[in-house]
Amino acid sequence: MNHRILFGSYPIPRFAGIASHNFVVWTDEKGRPLYEINGGAANADGSFNYCAIRGPLTAVVTDYAKRDLVYYPEFYVRPTSRTTVLLESGYASIAARWRAAVDVAERIRLSSLRYSFLIQNSNSVATAIAEGMGLTPPSAAIGRVKAPGSHRHLVLDPA
C-alpha cells in the first residue's frame, strides 16, 4: 500500500452526531497517521479550542511523532471518525501535496479570520486544505447540516 491523504469526519457528540468536524490526514503505507490538519478556534494562549464558539480561526498541523493534545488535536484515531481516500501514491508525491496543505494552514493562521460555527470553522478549513492540494473533498463529508461551513470558501491572501 502507498501513502495516503484522507479526508476525515468526526461526528460531534454535542450535536447528536449529526454535524461533523472535518479534518485531513496523511497516513503511511501501513495506514498509520503521520500528520493531521484540523481547523478551529485558538485560545488566547495558542492552544486548540475544542469547544469553540468564537475566537481566531486557526489551522493546526499535528505531527503524530510529537503528540500534545492541548495544542495539536488528533481526530483520525478516534473510533467514530470516518475517512475517505483523497489520494494514494508514493511518498514523494504525497509529501509534495502535504507541503501545499501546510502552506494553506499557515495562510489560515495568519489570515485574521474569526471562527464562526456556521460560516468559518473546521469544515471550511478542511475544504480549503483539500482544495489547496488540488483535491476535492468527498461529497459525503460536506453539506450545510452535516458539516456547516464546508461550502464556505475562505478568503485568504495569495501565497
Domain membership of residue 20 as a residue range: 3-141
In this model, does residue 52 exceed pLDDT 80?
no
Q: Is residue 26 part of a domain?
A: yes
Number of domains in the chain: 1
Q: Is residue 149 part of a domain?
A: no
Express as a percent the part of the chain with pLDDT over 90: 67
Q: Is residue 151 part of a domain?
A: no
Q: Is residue 157 part of a domain?
A: no
Helix (H) or strand (E) holding 46: none
pLDDT digit string (tens) for 84-99? 999 999 999 999 999 9
Q: Is residue 27 part of a domain?
A: yes
In this model, does residue 72 exceed pLDDT 90?
yes
Q: Is residue 50 part of a domain?
A: yes
Looking at residues 3-17, what average pLDDT do you find? Answer: 84
Task: Provide long-range contacts, Cβ within 8 A and 24+ apart, for 64-68.
Answer: 64/32, 64/33, 64/34, 64/35, 64/36, 65/34
Angle of helix 122-132 versus helix 91-109 axis, rounded to 10? 130
What is the model's pLDDT at position 88?
98
In this model, does residue 152 exceed pLDDT 80?
no
Q: Is residue 155 part of a domain?
A: no
For cell 511518498, the residue is: 91
Q: Is residue 31 part of a domain?
A: yes
In this model, does residue 23 exceed pLDDT 80?
yes
Quickly state the pLDDT bin for 153 (edges 50, 70, 90).
confident
In this model, does residue 16 exceed pLDDT 70?
no
Task: Enter the DSSP assignment of 140.
Answer: G
